[in-house]
Copies of this chain bind each other. A is one copy, B any other.
Amino acid sequence: MDSTSQMADFSESNFIQALSLGKTEKTPVWFMRQAGRSLPEYRAIRGVGSILDAVANPSLAAEITMQPVKRYGVDAAILYSDIIVPVHACGFGIDIIPGTGPTTDRPFEGESDLKRLANFDAKTDTGYVLSTIEILKKELEVPLIGFAGGPFTVASYLIEGKPSRNFIKTKQMMYTQPKLFESLLWRLTEITVDFLSAQAQSGVNAIQLFDSWVGALSPREYRRFITPCASEIFSSLSKFNIPMISFGTNTSELLGLFVEAGASAVGLDSNTEITTATKRLGDKVAIQGNLDPVVCLTSVDNIISQARQVLMDSAFAPGYVFNLGHGVLPETDPTKLVELVDFLHQNGEEIRKNERASATLANREEHIK
């Protein structure tokens, strides 16, 4: 393949086929946080300081993006970036403190703080991300995933001022100042649409919306506050005709709402079994996931045994991409992920096919119901 054809089209790749509910010859796989601290080659070139500095350096960011593709042979690259890149770029005043996470000294508290998010133009403010994509489109031999943070998750960082477990300030604003909260979510939605559209125009082959902490909301709260935003994001992006994956942790009760909002695929964490999601979501949605990242800290035998179970669970998913239930843990031994990817590529479709064949009619009916 020459690079021109690669830039144009990965539609026949196993990754895009799986997300489009098409045919796969091998089970496609990538890992959330595949580029990052678990890779010695990453630690070697990354240096110290904020991840935001590395993201703002296109040749470095492109190199980091490609490292796991080279090392693991995964079926997709994901842009080396962070969900707070756009709000950082528009001058809100937020940074990522190593070991802590996104932190701001001036949390979002009122109407006037919206001004700190007023100016965002993806091409101007995050041109470096688009430059990274341009480099990658010339170099990569696999599809490239673009991404953005979901409105709830980004809002929670702005409101809490730091990573949170209970989202108390965020929910207080949602309950007591719903208009303000909606204004914030809506502004983040506009930024996200702009940012993801620019990524799509630059040639990413799929996008993932990481609303990692949206599982803190009830379905009713999601429907009221997040559905309008997620629907706007997915419908604005639909013209690019690329798969759109929606992911969050503890979202078992929200998966159907992801689909209603327009996601073409859902990323599952390890708590929701793939069989359950397949039953609930029907035959129009691809599924991605969901090996527990902690499994990857154990022996190769155990990793493969549990990956086999995940593959069996996925047998009746209308489209399926292997992934973890959350990001690769920093202490993961990358040589084990190499073996996992080899196993999946060599055996994945066979295991899934055998599982379908061995299911009795009764099981099959239960699976596809």
Contact = CB atoms under 8 A, between A and B. Distances in A.
A271 interface: yes
Interface string A159-186: 0000001111001100110000000000
Nearest to A272: B253
B253 A298 contact: no
Given A175-B302, A176-B302, A329-B168, A271 B294 contact: no
A335 to B, nearest CB: 17
A259 interface: no
A172 B297 contact: yes
Given A253-B252, A294-B168, A220 B273 contact: yes
A271 B272 CA distance: 14
A295 B174 CA distance: 10
A152 to B, nearest CB: 13
A28 interface: no
Give the bracket for the number of chain A residues in contact with chain B. Answer: 20 to 34
Contacts of A252: 252-253, 271
Given A176-B299, A273-B220, A294 B166 contact: yes
A257 to B, nearest CB: 12
A270 interface: yes
Given A167-B294, A252-B252, 13 more contacts: A168-B294, A168-B329, A172-B298, A175-B298, A175-B302, A175-B306, A176-B298, A218-B270, A220-B309, A252-B253, A252-B271, A253-B271, A253-B272
